[in-house]
Structure 1
Amino acid sequence: MLVYGLNTCSICKKALKALEASGAEFEFRDVRAAPLSEAELAVLIAEFGDRLIDRTTNDWRGLSDWLKHSEAEDQLAAKPKLMARPIIHHEGSYYLGWDEAVQKEVLPAQ
């Protein structure tokens, strides 16, 4: 399992803690420290579209009008923190966020 996020993100920390407590094997990738490649980004855009951008953040509100109206790839290239997170790649599927539905899919059955 691969978890994409930011090491400073509270939701990512919560997800990582739950995965660790459940005994799940996973790798965490901080997208700021190790940015997504064009190919990886294309896969995520195809999977989530505009939902990949978190438009509720101060970072997004601080973008120039040109960048706000540009493609998600350009926005994430300029500011990786704009990525909605966490994104979890598990058994060939991608999941966005850390709600009950995602937890049910990625946490091992107890």
Structure 2
Amino acid sequence: MTVYGIKNCNTVKNALDWLKKHQVEYDFHDYKTQGVTAAKLKAWSQQVGWESLVNKRGMTWRQLDAGTQAGVTSEKAAIALMMEKTSVIKRPLIEVDGQVVALGFDEATYREKLG
């Protein structure tokens, strides 16, 4: 199991705390230091939809100019943005054997799928 995110994100911290508390083993992939490939983003997009991957509630999205935001109308545009600004990817994303099992932190989902 791999948890993708950014170490200083509060939502990621909550998710990692939950995993530790429930003794769930995982590898952590930090977008800031390790990046993410277009192929990985495309694979996730095919599973959960590119719209779900772009965190439009986050500070990174809100700091984008209106033109950039308006230009994110396709998977291709979303992947380009997510590669350029990894902080715009919704997090954490949890992947098991190539499958996205959780996006964001929701304790009920974690109990059901990871607990």
With the shorter chain as reference, the TM-score category is 0.7 to 0.9
The residue type paired with residue 2 of structure 2 is L
How far does the alpha carbon of each residue in 1:10-52 deviate from its partner, in whole angstroms, 9 at most, with x for none?
A: 1111111111122211001111111111211111111222110
Cα gap change, 1:51/1:36 in structure 2, threshold over 3 Å: closer, same or farther? same
Matched positions, count: 107
CA positional deviation for 1:65: 3.6
C-alpha distance in structure 1 between counterparts of 2:63 and 2:19, whole Å: 33
Cross-structure match for 1:85: 91
Could you tell me whether the CA contact under 8 Å between 2:55 and 2:61 is conserved in 1?
Answer: yes
The runs of at least 4 consecutive aligned structure 1 residues that moved more than 2 Å come to 64-67, 90-93
Structure showing the higher helix proportion among its residues: 2
1:91 to partner: Cα distance: 4.8
Task: Tell me which moved more, 87-96 or 17-26.
Answer: 87-96
Q: Which residue of 2 aligns with 1:103?
A: 111
TM-score by length of 1: 0.86
Amino acid at match of 2:68: L
Corresponding residue for residue 53 of structure 1: 54
Where does 1:13-92 land on structure 2 (aligned, <5 Å)?
13-49=13-49, 50-68=51-69, 69-70=71-72, 71-92=77-98
Cα RMSD after superposing both structures = 1.6
Closer/same/farther in 2, CA of residues 59 and 92 from structure 1, 3 Å limit: closer
**Matched residues in 1 for 2:85 and 2:39: separation?**
17
User: Which structure 2 residue ranges, 5 or more long, are not aligned?
Assistant: none
The 1-side partners of 2:41 and 2:97 are apart by: 18
Output the CA distance in 1 between the equivalents of 2:109 and 2:86: 25
After TM superposition, the score normalised by the length of structure 2 is 0.83
SS at match of 2:32: coil
Equivalent position of 2:9 in the other structure: 9
